[in-house]
Amino acid sequence: MRSSYNWVISWSEKKEAERALAGLSFAESSFFPIPPDPLLIAMVTAKPDKWFRLATITTLSSVAGGMFGYFIGFIAIATVMPIVISVGYEEAYYGAVDWFASYGAFAVIVAGFTPIPYKIFTIAGGAAHMFLPFFIIGSIIGRGGRFFLVAYLMHHFGKRYKDKIEKYIDTLGFAFIGLLVLGFVAVKFLL
């Protein structure tokens, strides 16, 4: 895993870095195990003025990859299920299915922002035939929230806090989800 991580980071210094970021973001949302955050962090650290562009590339590519995962689940869940089981994601898959039944698009927002394997939610969303526009909107909010937060923090705090941001991104993600839940609760009681 560490060698794969280092390989991903090495792309930040190449002229094809933006294409690599887009490809990694797409792949991670449907089948690849390494998240794009480390590459995004390295690229924004190197070029802080491009933070918004890089976060946009990461978000749009991740959502497109999520749609690919959705269609894998929609069309070929029976074929993919042995792979899901063999990589140890069976329990996560069934958990995602339960989340969709209970929370709908909110499950996609949470999965898109947190370290929960987003690819499992994309495949489960397709297998559950979740309403595609809600899936896309949830993906944009969840993935965009995560990647724009990472890029923004790197832009404003830069190299000095790079290691801390990488270390605590999951905690920041859960804090964001907590604020989001509080917002939904507040809106529900105010309306």
How is residue 31 written in tokens? 């089948």
Mean pLDDT highest for which of 59-68, 75-84, 92-101, 141-150? 59-68
pLDDT band of 181, cuts 50, 70, 90: low
Give the single-character DSSP code of 13: G
DSSP secondary structure code for residue 104 in this structure: T
Is the Cβ–Cβ distance between 46 and 162 less than 8 Å?
no
Q: Average pLDDT, stretch 33-43?
A: 84
Q: How many domains does the chain have?
A: 1
Residue 150, pLDDT above cutoff 80? yes
Spatial contact of 129 and 100, defined as CB atoms under 8 Å apart = no
pLDDT of residue 11: 72
CA 97 to the chain's CA centroid: 18
Q: CA 6 to CA 88: how far, in whole Å?
A: 24
Structural domain of 57: 2-190
Angle at the Cα of 167 from the Cα atoms of 162 and 170, rounded to 5 degrees:
120
